[in-house]
Structure 1
Amino acid sequence: MLSFDNTVNLLMQSKYRYSLQDVAEPNLYREIYDYDHVPKVAFNLRHVPMQMPDHIWMTDTTFRDGQQSVSPFTPEQILHLFKLMSRLGGPNGMVRQSEFFLYTENDQKALHLCQDAGLKFPEITTWIRANEKDFELVKQAGVAETGVLVSCSDYHIFNKMHLTRKQAMDKYLGIVKAALEYGIRPRCHFEDITRADFYGFVVPFAGALMDLSRESGIPIKIRACDTMGYGVSYPGTALPRSVQGIIYGLRHYAEVPSEQLEWHGHNDFYKVVSNAATAWLHGCSSINCSLLGIGERTGNCPLEAMAIEYQSLRGDDGGMDLTAITEIADYMEREIGLEISPRQPFVGRHFNVTRAGIHADGMLKDEEIYNIFNTAKLLNRPASVAVDSRGGTASIAHWLNNYFRLTGDNTIDKNDPLIVNMRARVDDLYAKGRNTVMGDEELEVMVRRCDQNRYEKLLFHKSK
């Protein structure tokens, strides 16, 4: 049969309905995942169309998956980060939801503090085990949506839960039906989807969930979880590792609407951001992230990365306030004690700091030559140059102009006697064995010692 598809304005063959394949032995994809070697990437050269949804957004798992990898946050810390996250996402809810645990007194206190803040976004959701008793906790918390773990690979179904596929599917559907009876919107976490039998279990199960969704009138969501970071986005890659294949298959064969589809990736193979963008491009509306990418093992998709990626793909800011990213990073490091790599994009202390002398010279002439974008305007993080043994007069001049806020005709050239004098002093320090970068305070002292009168004028200019 043929039907007209309004999304592409073409006649399409009717979609094939896949049935559950209840196999006797687990399919562990040993030709790809043999455990004693790096997992292989298989290709079938099948290409699926890009189909970016009308609306895309991010969701957050900092207080659930993210918090599993660090010392527990206090309820007050969670509230502070929640408010910053709301500011980052802006009034249009680009950070649409944030999920919380419910099991401890601290978890519940944090959730209630955030509820009492009265913010429209992010919507507060929860995460529970596939256990009917846990729905009482959700109901008591006054939350409309909860995540439910529904592991979908044979590694989990056979080797962890010791069930057959049919038993697992029946169990999961029973839990989802219970959620619907409670009036709770279920979000089904398809754990380990990049090692799952896609057409033998994932699609039939997702299709059954969509049947329940249509019957109940409640939008059941599916979170495709790349739990081990195995997903790849190369064109023509084969399932189960193909990100675009997973998203296309869920939409085309299981008929999951884009707005009910979410991608949750991990960074075990350095692919978490590119995989998330690929999910967006191929029809997934929602990307699940965490602040600074914290989470199990190598972490989740960084929320700040996808905020930047959104603007890159859409060409507008969606109402987001990216300066909140800098405040989030500062708070995480200063108040929570999280160690952030100095070179971590957008949040590391040195992500837009250059050390090479030739780069410093370029920055002095035109910041745009070596800075990725206007980080001062967008992130409240001015580009800077490190002063050490390699930067030369250009790095000192750039530091001085930046530190004392000198612009236009007031800027000081690298050949200025003050800069030359400072360069000689810096070189002398490193010749005597110094091996660390110069700090702002000691450089300011050096300016004063080199030329007291100019130093006082510079201070006056900075204070204006």
Structure 2
Amino acid sequence: MENRPVKMNPHTNLLQLEEHMYHLVDVDKPNVFRNLFPYDEVPKIAFNNRIVPLNMPDEIWITDTTFRDGQQSRAPYSTEQIVTMFDYLHRLGGPKGIVRQSEFFLYSKKDRDAVYKCMERGYKFPEVTSWIRASKKDFELVKDLGMKETGILVSCSDYHIFYKMKMTRSEAMNHYLGVVRECLETGVSPRCHLEDITRSDIYGFVIPFCLELMKLMEEYQIPVKIRACDTMGYGVNFSGAVIPRSVQGIIYGMMTHGGVPSELLEWHGHNDFYKAVTNSTTAWLYGACSVNCSLFGIGERTGNTPLEAMVFEYAQLKGTLDGMDTTVITELAEYFENEIGYRVPSRTPFVGRNFNVTRAGIHADGLLKNEEIYNIFDTEKFLNRPVLVAVSNTSGLAGIAHWINTYYKLKDERQVDKNSELVQMVKVWVDEEYESGRVTVLTDDELIAVIEDSCRKLNVTL
């Protein structure tokens, strides 16, 4: 005890005794936490009421896996598409580079061509990083491309160590440390992807492994990053929940007992239980500087943490966008739909076609009086998406007036209200549609045709 360092924690202004005393626990049989993960039942969230402190880093940022994990669940992007999206990510991240890195596969010529073209852009951010197989040949490829960092898969749960790799914990750790050492020998910084961390033995394997990785970092004087991968989306952010499901418990343990500094710690979440965004935010709040995301959450199974969601989480936590250009998010959604052929589900926050569209007549009336009543923020300013009212049998005169003003961008004295002759004429047509048995919302094209016809009859222009 007397030889362990006592350090001042700048976030709490308290002296803290670092306890690096966790050793690998080798086991004969895998610990798969059957009490928490009974395969023939829904997983259980258990509590032991052990609370860890908030520990928000001074600086937080986002990393992107659109071209790696994001490509594992869809047809591969073309080189041109990757470069275009990379340009968008650069604009979105702003001058401070809040979108800090973007990771790429290096397996195919197409992937490598995309890497070359993105690196030729000369952007400081996002930094181009890679994901490779753990082999000397691939390490050399990373070095030849001029990359400073690469991701390496180091699965950490007994599910993977015993069932997939057919190893013991000590065999797996020694194998991983050998691979990481090979990477460091080439002068490349390894980013260790601790796959399936939310089903792993945190203090029996993960923290002892982190301690050994930190020793290698000290030996080679090259950063060794740790990516905590919630591969199956089991992580929870509930105060007092037990590890390995507790996000804050994992982050606290890796920092306080594993010796991993905030700037080298990253969270990678999946959305199997609808918790990807809240878990990523929790990782920030409890000490990880970085969260790993993909555009629109596209990724394995239910997907990754949506990058656009974390842009707005950042702004809410920091009180500023720090120069991020959020209008790029809308441009990206349009690019995905028009050029890639991927349509974001219509109710997806920030990017879905209907995310700020209301159908209820009473809501439409409120929007017409003051859009703040039913809109989350100034969506026209931040996303180039003015709030809209879908016209149906419940929209009423107010909804039709709002649709016309928004669609035709009518301002000030040019705006129409629910007493307008034009609005009332359109309302007659709408009522006739639904009285004849229609049940669907009216399309933009239908409304445009009726409005233009009504304008001709009334001899007015918009």
Q: How does the TM-score come out when normalised to structure 2?
A: 0.97
Structure 1 contact 125–146 (Cα < 8 Å) conserved:
yes
The residue that corresponds to 2:120 in the other structure is: 116
The residue that corresponds to 2:7 in the other structure is: 4
The residue that corresponds to 2:88 in the other structure is: 84
- Seen in structure 2, the aligned counterparts of structure 1 residues 171 and 447 have a Cα distance that, compared at 3 Å, is same
In the TM superposition, 1:60-99 aligns within 5 A as 60-99=64-103
Among residues 237, 261, 274, which one is paired with 1:270 in the alignment?
A: 274
The residue that corresponds to 2:106 in the other structure is: 102
42-51 or 387-396: bigger deviation: 387-396
Distance in 2, Cα, partners of 1:16 & 1:45: 23
Indicate the SS of the match to 1:151.
Answer: coil
Structure 1 contact 196–240 (Cα < 8 Å) conserved:
yes
Determine whether 1:317 maps to 2:321: yes
Amino acid at match of 1:443: L
Determine whether 1:430 maps to 2:424: no
Distance in 1, Cα, partners of 2:118 & 2:45: 43
- Seen in structure 2, the aligned counterparts of structure 1 residues 389 and 15 have a Cα distance that, compared at 3 Å, is same
Distance in 2, Cα, partners of 1:437 & 1:67: 34
Distance in 1, Cα, partners of 2:51 & 2:339: 47
392-401 or 221-230: bigger deviation: 392-401
Q: Deviation at 1:372?
A: 0.4
Among residues 281, 284, 297, which one is paired with 1:280 in the alignment?
A: 284
Structure 1 contact 447–455 (Cα < 8 Å) conserved:
no
Structure 2 contact 18–256 (Cα < 8 Å) conserved:
no
The residue that corresponds to 1:166 in the other structure is: 170
Q: Deviation at 1:14?
A: 3.5
404-413 or 213-222: bigger deviation: 404-413
Q: Deviation at 1:417?
A: 2.3
The residue that corresponds to 1:462 in the other structure is: none
The residue that corresponds to 1:352 in the other structure is: 356
Deviations 1:327-373 (A, max 9, x none): 11111111111131000000101100000001110111001100000
Deviations 1:37-73 (A, max 9, x none): 1100010101100010011000000000001111110
Amino acid at match of 1:154: D
Among residues 261, 264, 267, which one is paired with 1:257 in the alignment?
A: 261
Amino acid at match of 1:3: V
Structure 1 contact 60–289 (Cα < 8 Å) conserved:
yes
Percent identical among aligned pairs is 58
The residue that corresponds to 1:293 in the other structure is: 297
Deviations 1:118-153 (A, max 9, x none): 211100000012223321221222211000000000
The residue that corresponds to 2:225 in the other structure is: 221
Indicate the SS of the match to 2:266.
Answer: strand
Determine whether 1:304 maps to 2:321: no
Among residues 372, 376, 381, which one is paired with 2:380 in the alignment?
A: 376
Q: Deviation at 1:456?
A: 4.5
Indicate the SS of the match to 2:228.
Answer: strand
Amino acid at match of 1:4: K
Among residues 439, 447, 453, which one is paired with 2:443 in the alignment?
A: 439
The residue that corresponds to 1:35 in the other structure is: 39
Indicate the SS of the match to 2:163.
Answer: coil
The residue that corresponds to 1:231 in the other structure is: 235
Distance in 2, Cα, partners of 1:100 & 1:312: 29
Structure 1 contact 130–150 (Cα < 8 Å) conserved:
no
Deviations 1:217-237 (A, max 9, x none): 111000000000000000000
Deviations 1:392-419 (A, max 9, x none): 1111010011122222333221122221
| RMSD (Å) for aligned C-alpha atoms | 1.2
Determine whether 1:457 maps to 2:458: no
The residue that corresponds to 1:44 in the other structure is: 48
Among residues 350, 364, 368, which one is paired with 1:364 in the alignment?
A: 368
404-413 or 446-455: bigger deviation: 446-455
Amino acid at match of 1:234: F
Distance in 1, Cα, partners of 2:77 & 2:15: 53
Indicate the SS of the match to 2:340.
Answer: coil
Q: Deviation at 1:453?
A: 6.8
The residue that corresponds to 2:425 in the other structure is: 421
Distance in 1, Cα, partners of 2:300 & 2:342: 15
Determine whether 1:20 maps to 2:33: no
308-317 or 446-455: bigger deviation: 446-455
Q: How does the TM-score come out when normalised to structure 1?
A: 0.97
Structure 1 contact 448–455 (Cα < 8 Å) conserved:
no
Amino acid at match of 1:323: T
The residue that corresponds to 1:243 in the other structure is: 247
* Consecutive aligned runs of 4 or more in structure 1 exceeding 3 Å deviation: 453-456
Q: Deviation at 1:13?
A: 2.8
Determine whether 1:400 maps to 2:404: yes
Distance in 2, Cα, partners of 1:394 & 1:100: 49
Q: Deviation at 1:454?
A: 5.6
Distance in 2, Cα, partners of 1:111 & 1:281: 32
Deviations 1:361-393 (A, max 9, x none): 011100110000000000111110001122111
The residue that corresponds to 2:342 in the other structure is: 338
Q: How many residues align?
A: 458
List gaps (5 residues or longer) in structure 1. 459-464
Distance in 2, Cα, partners of 1:42 & 1:132: 42
Q: Deviation at 1:455?
A: 6.3
Structure 2 contact 9–16 (Cα < 8 Å) conserved:
no
Determine whether 1:183 maps to 2:187: yes
Structure 1 contact 150–188 (Cα < 8 Å) conserved:
yes
Q: Deviation at 1:324?
A: 0.4
Amino acid at match of 2:406: N
